Amino acid sequence: MKAPFPYFGGKRRVAEQVWAALGDVDNYVEPFAGSLAVLLARPLRHQGLTETVNDADCHLANFWRALAHDPEAVAAWADWPVNEADLFARHLWLVNEGRDRIAGIEADPDFYDAKVAGWWVWGICAWIGSGWCSGTGPWVHDDEAGKRPHLGSAGQGVNRQRPHLGSAGQGVNRKLPARQAGLYDYMNALADRLRRVRVCCGDWSRVVTDGALVHGATVGVFLDPPYLGDVRAADLYTCDDHTISIAVRDWAVAHGDDPRLRIVLCGYIDEHEGHVPDTWRLVRYSASGSYGTAAGVGQNKVNRHKEALWFSPRCLTTAQPSLFETPRGTPGRNADLARERAYVVTIKEET
């Protein structure tokens, strides 16, 4: 399945590679859920007993939780055409009243708000680039003027920009035909997939404790933290800790030899190379371009070719094509084909 919204840094492109390494684990944990690209790409033949996802962004956690409990209500609030005035107004509402409405999500495992979830997913599908619901923009409510927006430096502000007008800027993504019934069917299908998934909201370390990982003979942990701030563009996520990837890497290395754990660590080659033991398998690939890279500008245009996955020693080993391997019937096109493939990989032992 596919998430109904775009998300910077999503790993759908390499999800098949990840599941080949994790296998049919009894317990799957994703501490940085994001768009749930890897979870939603889990092969149907896998019958894991326990699945847990977590994200520090309350809006993300609320969306997945609300979708699992009341998909039709989420679809109803999300079913709206792209409108610039609505995008600005709803953005202001989400980072102020909306954020207050879901403030208790970390304390109550059953709490969700379908309206906040629906407006959030509608808006992120119409938004350009980063900053959605970050609350860091200059436009704020003026309570004395009936909540009229104005420029200010205090409070939960938002950026004011036109909606995305490309092919993706047509509202919530739909796997089924773009009609009202299709949207509701799609949300219900996602809800069915998430019915038994445990959705947590908070610090990533809470879901990788010994107690949280105790279930099952085999445990898969997929770690995709915000990349190190020194090697990527800043402020890409609502909850954007620029150094968290170091702590995540240290945890992964410390637990890499646990016979029960199969760990996959994501990052740029610059931030982890030399810090991850040689016993881990390294796979490099090129990520798809974002809005900025499509225009040929931005740090991410260069960084997208630095993407890498590190597989812990207990991960399953599968044969992967080399970056320097010539596909049959196409001699002499190595470099071009490497860029054209959905992902290209190099095994560390081969390079």
Assess whether 160 and 249 both reside in one domain: no
Last residue of a domain, one of 143, 178, 213: 178
Predicted pLDDT of residue 238: 52
Question: What residues of the chain score a pLDDT lower than 70?
Answer: 8-9, 129, 138-181, 229-242, 288-302, 318-351
Domain boundary among 145, 162, 178: 178
pLDDT for 180: 57
What pLDDT does 18 receive?
96
Examine the domain organization and report whether 214 and 333 are in the same domain.
Answer: yes
Token pair, residue 318, equals: 């599968």
pLDDT score at 1: 84
Q: Look at residue 152 in the predicted model and tell me its pLDDT.
A: 57
What b/e sequence results for 177-197 when a residue is b if at least 16 CB atoms lie within 10 Å of its CB, and e otherwise? eeeeeebbbbbeebbebbeeb
140, 156 contact by CB (below 8 A): yes
Q: Is residue 4 part of a domain?
A: no
Judge if 225 and 128 occupy the same domain.
no
Sign of CA dihedral 28, 33, 38, 42: positive
pLDDT value at residue 183: 85
- Cα(53)–Cα(20) distance, rounded to whole angstroms? 20
Nearest by Cα to 9 from 72, 55, 66, 62: 55
pLDDT value for 2: 85
Residue 1 lies in a domain: no
Last residue of a domain, one of 122, 146, 178: 178
> What is the full DSSP assignment across 11-55?
-GGGHHHHHHHH-S-SEEEESS-TT-HHHHT--TT---SEEEEEE
What is the DSSP pairing of strand 307-311 with strand 281-284? antiparallel
Q: Are strands 261-268 and 281-284 parallel, antiparallel or unpaired?
A: unpaired
Q: Are residues 146 and 226 located together in one domain of the fold?
A: no
Rama region for 287: left / alpha / beta (φ>0; ψ in -120 to 50; rest): beta
Please give the pLDDT value at position 225: 93
pLDDT attached to residue 326? 34
Are 337 and 210 part of one and the same domain? yes
129 shares a domain with 244? no
Residue 193 resides in a domain:
no
Query: What pLDDT shows up at residue 349?
Result: 37
Q: Is residue 67 part of a domain?
A: no
Q: Which domain holds residue 117?
A: 74-178
Identify the pLDDT of residue 189.
92
The DSSP result for 72-114, as a single string, is HHHHHHH-----HHHHHHHHHHIIIIIHHHTGGGGT-TT---H
Residue 5 domain-assigned? no
Distance (Å, whole) CA 127 – CA 7? 11
Structural domain includes residue 68: no
Q: Is residue 339 part of a domain?
A: yes
Three-point CA angle 225, 287, 317, nearest 5°: 75
Same domain for 235 and 275: yes
Domain assignment present for 260: yes
Number of domains in the chain: 2
Say how far apart CA 85 and CA 163 lie, in whole Å: 10
Residues β-bridged to residue 222: 264
pTM for the whole structure: 0.74
